[in-house]
Copies of this chain bind each other. A is one copy, B any other.
Amino acid sequence: MPDVAVLGASGYAGAIAASLLWRHPHFELRHVTARSEAGAVLDEVHPRTRVPLLLEDYDPDVQGDVDAALICWPHRVSAPAVAALRERGVRVVDLSADFRLRDQAVYEDWYGSHGAPALFGAGVYGLPELYREAIAGADLVANPGCYPTAALLGLAPLARAGAIADLVIDAKSGVSGAGRSPSATTHYISADENMTPYKVERHRHTPEIEQELAVLGASLPITFTPHLVPLAQGELVSCYVTTTSALDDTQLADLYREAYEDEPWVEIKHGPPGVLEVRETNYCRISVHVDGRTGRVLVFSAIDNLWKGAASQAVQNLNLMFGRDESEGLR
């Protein structure tokens, strides 16, 4: 069984990833790290994981002694660790944004200077439903952002059909998306009974969605606005698509059935999805509608931001990288 490490296991996504790998039938979780909580047992920091491993300080010579690592660190901090582990032959799924973008100028514009420029662009974009084969052969996989995961799965069939002329994405996320650091935003009293748009015009998932839509055939600037809603885990993207030519319900249904009928983790539904339906799962649940009044196509796509939007998708990628059934350890 391949040995694995999870770097940044004290964050929400890292803790879930560690929990999934601890129970995985074909990986052996050897190391979990945490910056400020090193020395504690993961179990105590995140009781729901029930992973009794000691959180270690990061040391590439220690955690580099594995076959694969999931890195759950912020952008810019992640890249040097990716480089250090790759040098030691460790296969990496990086959950940060550092290896998602293809254009370094775009990266620098949105994130600042890159932490391992020699490796820039070396990762495969880890959305299994789009890049399954490339992931299977990859040593470095860039796990997608949560919003891009939901948006791209929702829009891929339209983008590939050349049907997207204009696009507005109104996205909503639970509070775990803001991370585990206590802040005014994540304070219960700020978030409870509230909802608000945030990072209007400047959320970093915008160029990532645009890049991948372009690969699929839809090169256009998009409007993307995330909103914070008062729940813990769950993400919904509501996509408003002006189409290049009129589509009717049957054409639309065919398009999505063909795209996803064999996908184990994408569910196309008649009625709009609720985020609770995918909570703590690797599923993405989608509905598609033609708005009869305007001809616009509406796509609603729901995921758990910490699972399919981060941790469980990382394990799905890891499964593919090691030639396993991509669903192992995820049901």
Q: Using a CB–CB distance below 8 Å, which chain A residues touch chain B?
A: 12, 23, 47-48, 166, 168, 170, 172, 174-176, 180, 182-184, 186-198, 200-201, 206, 221-223, 225, 227, 229-234, 236, 238, 240, 242, 272-277, 279-281, 285, 289, 291-294, 296, 298, 300, 302, 331
Q: Are B236 and A189 in contact (CB under 8 A)?
A: no
Which residues of B are found within 8 Å of A296, using beta-carbon distances?
A: 168, 223
Which residues of B are found within 8 Å of A176, using beta-carbon distances?
A: 189
Distance of A40 from chain B, by nearest CB (Å): 13
Q: Are B231 and A195 in contact (CB under 8 A)?
A: yes
Q: Are A231 and B189 in contact (CB under 8 A)?
A: no
Report how far A281 CA is from B48 CA in the complex, Å: 9
Report how far A280 CA is from B50 CA in the complex, Å: 13
22 contacts between A and B (CB under 8 A): A168-B296, A170-B238, A170-B240, A172-B227, A172-B229, A182-B187, A188-B190, A193-B193, A193-B231, A194-B234, A194-B274, A196-B272, A196-B302, A197-B236, A197-B300, A201-B292, A201-B293, A201-B298, A223-B294, A223-B296, A225-B298, A280-B280
Report how far A242 CA is from B234 CA in the complex, Å: 29
Report how far A186 CA is from B190 CA in the complex, Å: 10
Contacts A182-B187, A186-B182, A187-B186 given; does A240 touch B238 at CB 8 Å: no
Knowing that A186-B187, A188-B191, A190-B276 touch, tell me 15 more A-B residue pairs with CB under 8 angstroms: A12-B189, A47-B285, A168-B296, A170-B170, A180-B189, A182-B183, A182-B184, A187-B187, A193-B233, A193-B279, A194-B274, A195-B236, A197-B272, A200-B272, A223-B240
